[in-house]
Amino acid sequence: MSESFTWNGQEWSYEEVREMVYDSVMDSTECPECGSTQRVEPDASNYKCHDCGVGKVHSPLIVLGLC
């Protein structure tokens, strides 16, 4: 079994994938602009950050191409 997962040119370890899937269901995602975390729906894509209004947040499931 491979030690990593690659999707759309980006590579993650299986531990990173596990954390991203857990976060998408149980926790939150982080804004790439300000670092603020917020809860998003599993199918969230390009949601405007509530704190800075600049960054776009995505569900980790969208980032992984699973949703």
Contacts for 52 with CB less than 8 Å, ≥ 6 apart: 31, 33, 34, 36
Q: Where are the domains of the chain?
A: 4-63
Which stretch of DSSP H or E encloses residue 61?
Answer: helix 60-63
pLDDT in tens for each of the 67 residues of the chain? Answer: 568 888 888 898 988 888 877 776 766 788 989 999 888 887 888 889 999 999 888 887 787 777 7
Its pTM stands at 0.57
